[in-house]
Amino acid sequence: MATIAVIDYDMGNLHSACKGLEKAGAKPLVTDSPEDIANADAVVLPGVGSFDPAVQHIRSRGLEIPIKKAIDSGKPFLGICLGLQILFDGSEEGQEPGLGIIPGMVRRFRSEPGITIPHMGWNQLEFAQPHLSLWQQLQSEPYVYFVHSYYVEPKDPQVSAAMVTHGSQTVTAAIAHDNIMAVQFHPEKSADNGLKILANFVSSIKSKVAV
């Protein structure tokens, strides 16, 4: 069974993320240990809350370098919600520099008539990388669950793996680059579609471990 290090930095929806991974056939290990992160078959970086406290907690726990080493090692990496945003250079939500792993910024939705901020509830994904392993065996434009006021804007649009439309704004809902995958929505709250996405991630780990 694949061991997945689920990084604990006091900002994560750890219980629900772990339950989803367990249902997908993985062995999640909640940890803030650099050794555990290095030894795991894959890494998940969940997160809920605000940008500045998140990166402050990561740095205060000495987790920035272990996260970057894990990514550099090529092992599968999945960011969820805030765990996507902190991979970027910075955010309009705060002042702290992000991890700078994916070039780009985190932006706030523009206010406009007829839309609510935060963007909350079920919405449809528009695949930008339709052959990505995360999306396998999903129907076109599946519904998933969002709760966010900010979205990522990568410098290279090619890293966008899925988009979502809220009001008149179509923004990045997921990214994929090499071994990094990260999503703005909550797969652990997205019913069957979310469980399938997590199962696809676990399958990608098992195939890599087998090699």
CA pseudo-torsion sign 56, 60, 66, 70: negative
* 197, two tokens: 């996405």
* 56, two tokens: 């402050």
- Per the residue annotation, which of 81, 148, 166, 177 is the catalytic one? 81
- Per the residue annotation, which of 57, 119, 148, 186 is the catalytic one? 186
Catalytic residue flag (residue 153): no
Catalytic residue flag (residue 18): no
Helix (H), strand (E) at residue 209? helix 191-210
Amino acid of residue 186: H
Which is it for strands 104-108 and 150-154: parallel, antiparallel or unpaired?
Answer: antiparallel
- Per the residue annotation, which of 18, 119, 177, 188 is the catalytic one? 188
To 5 degrees, how large is the angle CA 191–CA 87–CA 101? 135
**Residues annotated as part of the active site:** 81, 186, 188
